[in-house]
Amino acid sequence: MRSLALLSFVSTALAATYSLSDNHVGPDFLTSFTHEAIPDPTSGRVNYVDQATATAQNLTFTSPDSLVLRADATTTLTPTGPGRNSVRIKSVKTYTTHVSVYDIRHMPQGLSTWPAAWEVQEDGWPAGGEVDILEGANDVAPNQSTLHTAAGCTMPDGRAETGTPVSEDCGDSAGPNLGCGVHAPTTNSYGTAFNAAGGGWYAMERTPDFVKVWFWSRGDASVPADVSGNTGSVDTDNWGEPTAYFPNTDCNLASHFGQNNIIFDLTLCGDWAGAVYNSDGCSGDCVTYVNENPSAFSNAYWDIGFVRVYE
């Protein structure tokens, strides 16, 4: 009995422990991710370029401990020509049950910007699920983490999370691309305030039972050592209440989520940032703003310290 009890204790204790599988840092991203030179599926005023073009134009830049991804900030566009050059990168590997930790120093800011760090199965979307870890539009709001699934996946009330739910139906029936989102409770989780604080860490844990997202600002003394440092493994039981919690209570996560890639992108205007451009307090026309104001995009860049994946 004693050894049985010990065994069951050990297996419970191991439940939230994961080992490092992939440590994406600096130049690693040039081989562990591919540049998706595709028409923007969200109709943004961007022209996603391939890796050779992105590195030649310094839209993608790596140093030993940094990956910078930016939109072009020098070219005035012709209204009838292609959109502003930008970058969308996707991990070669796919992940199912895992923890991913994102160290982000700077995220794209500026009117018309719609940056996202997310995990998704693009084929057959939304059948294979999508988790938006960090996403927003026009610097302002909403700064949110969101699940997108096929119909038949909803989130219960009263979840153990520090954020505020904005919608509970993760499936298509909620409307086009709406999903079930949770607003982060702190302003420094997004945009100019995030950048002014030196960014921070986002982390996501996905299992068949739940998806959790956490955020710690750069100066946050409560950031766990296995988030800020490379300790070879993580134990999410020590990370405290998540910012966003998506349990499988009314959603079969095992069937709604498949093999997901990690994607970073930066689009401009489009289905979200363009649609809310005026209601977010920006005047005029979003696409015209993008065409005519290259220098407005000098801070429209990601600076990513690392993405570590644990399984």
Ligand X SMILES: *[C@@H]1O[C@H](CO)[C@@H](O)[C@H](O)[C@H]1NC(C)=O
Amino acid identity, position 237? D
Query: 142: cis peptide before it, omega within 30°?
Result: yes
Give the ranges where the chain is alpha helix by DSSP (H).
2-14, 29-32, 51-56, 191-196, 225-228, 253-256, 286-292
User: Using alpha carbons only, what angle is made at residue 217 by residues 265 and 147, rounded to the nearest 5 degrees?
Assistant: 45
Q: Whose structure tokens read 């940056």? A: 115
Closest distance of CB 263 from ligand X, Å: 21
Q: Which residue number, 290 or 304, has a Cβ lying nearer to ligand X?
A: 304
Whose Cβ is closer to ligand X: residue 183's or residue 218's?
Answer: 183
Q: How far is CA 151 from CA 18, 122, 148, 177, 250, in A?
A: 30, 16, 9, 12, 12
Cβ of residue 20: shortest distance to ligand X, in angstroms? 27
List 120's β-bridge partners, or say none: 130, 261
Alpha helices in 171-269 (DSSP H): 191-196, 225-228, 253-256
CB of 187 to ligand X, least distance (A): 4
- Report the nearest approach of ligand X to the CB of residue 277 (Å): 15
Choose the catalytic residue: 130, 241, 292, 311: 130
Closer CB to ligand X, 26 or 258, in the complex? 26
Nearer to ligand X, 217 or 291 (CB): 217
Q: Is 311 a catalytic residue?
A: no
Positions touching ligand X (CB under 6 A) are: 58, 61, 68, 140-143, 164, 183-184, 187, 190-191, 193
**Closer by beta carbon to ligand X, 68 or else 150:** 68
For the question of residue 205 being annotated catalytic, the response is: no
- Report the nearest approach of ligand X to the CB of residue 61 (Å): 4
CB distance 112 to 282 below 8 Å:
yes
Closer residue to ligand X, CB minimum distance, 61 or 210: 61
How far apart are the C-alpha atoms of 310 and 70, rounded to whole Å? 27
Residue 77, amino acid = L
Inter-residue contact 182 to 161 (CB < 8 Å) = yes
Least Å distance, CB 217 to ligand X, is: 12
**CA quadruple 294, 61, 140, 287: dihedral sign:** positive
Q: Which of 36, 119, 122, 135 is catalytic?
A: 135
Residue of 142, 144, 110 lying closest to 286 (CA atoms): 110
Catalytically annotated residues = 130, 135
